[in-house]
Amino acid sequence: MNKPTLLILAAGLGSRYGSLKQIEPVGPAGEAIIDYSVYDAIRAGFGKIVFVIKKEIESDFKNNLLKRFENRVETAYVFQELDMLPEGYTLPPDRKKPWGTAHAVMISEKEISTPFAAINADDFYGYDAFRKMQKFLSVPGNQTDYSMIGYKLANTLSEHGTVSRGICNIDENDFLISISELTKIQRENTGIVYYKDDQSFPLPEESTVSMNIWGFKESVFRQIKERFSSFLDTGIHDPKAEFYIPTLIDQLIKEKEARVKVLRCNAEWFGITYKEDKESAQKSILDKIENGDYPEKLWM
């Protein structure tokens, strides 16, 4: 069986961070979080890395990032552009945001021919997550049996503002029952809450959440295409509407078109959502280097 592929979603605008956070250096030799994901994926047994980027960052991406590891593993990249729509749909003139993570997966089909994992570029997941995902993807099985790495909500928050998380409902066999995308979650004095319509609602600390590390088979491309068209029928004129992977997954489960195994992970997530997150991300990397998890210079 061919080694699985890793798909890295790096086309986000980084609107809250204010710059191109996908290649923001956090390691002592200038490594970005994305470097550590690629490093962990290679040693976990992934055979190809595919990146989704915006065309406008192609030069920076190739010169400042891709060349670091293109001789260590097979690589490819695809562009996610706003006008990549199904036949019969026209891009609204006021659309500025990307169409979302499910759309990013959909337009990557031409570069993926094996089971694959999809991750965010600016989230640190840790080696154990890649090891568990690689093991799942390497076992032959039903073409609509997917997976996700589940983290504890309390281990995934930012100290500097709200975050978006997919809150998971899981059965006794660790299969996902449903997932709800909540976009304004933060810790307050009373505990963890999320906001909706200017009201706050509590969330348990031990809630299992998705950090957008998903395991898919190639059949998912057909499923996304079918549902993305339905999304456009109702949301194409909403300039902020996005088609998220958790939204897709929730639909597939409810329609009995897929099963999703939750692979639990107790690691503490970190990433760069806000500029203030960079310092804590740098400290986390240094701590892991001191513990022997990574070399001081990742690609030497």
Per-residue pLDDT, averaged over 142-162, amounts to 91
DSSP output for 105-125: HHTTGGG--S-EEEEETTEE-
Buried-exposed string 110-128: b where 16+ CB fall within 10 A, e elsewhere: ebbebbbbbbbbbbbbbbe
Position 128 scores a pLDDT of: 92
Domain ranges of the chain: 5-290
Is a pLDDT exceeding 70 seen at residue 166? Answer: yes
Residue 33 in tokens: 């979080």
Cβ neighbours around 82 below 10 Å, total:
14
Q: Which CATH architecture has domain 5-290?
A: Alpha-Beta Complex (3.90)
Q: What is the pLDDT of residues 186-231, one digit of tens each?
A: 999 989 999 998 899 999 999 999 898 999 999 999 999 999 999 9
What is the average pLDDT score of the chain?
A: 90
Is a pLDDT exceeding 60 seen at residue 262? Answer: yes
Position 278 scores a pLDDT of: 87
Q: What is the pLDDT of residues 86-139, one digit of tens each?
A: 999 999 999 988 899 999 999 999 999 999 999 998 889 999 999 999 999 999
Per-residue pLDDT, averaged over 66-71, amounts to 87
Q: How confident is the model at residue 16 (pLDDT cuts 50, 70, 90)?
A: very low
Cβ neighbours around 70 below 10 Å, total:
13
Cβ neighbours around 258 below 10 Å, total:
21
Q: What H or E segment, with its residue span, contains residue 54?
A: none
Position 273 scores a pLDDT of: 73
pTM of the model: 0.90
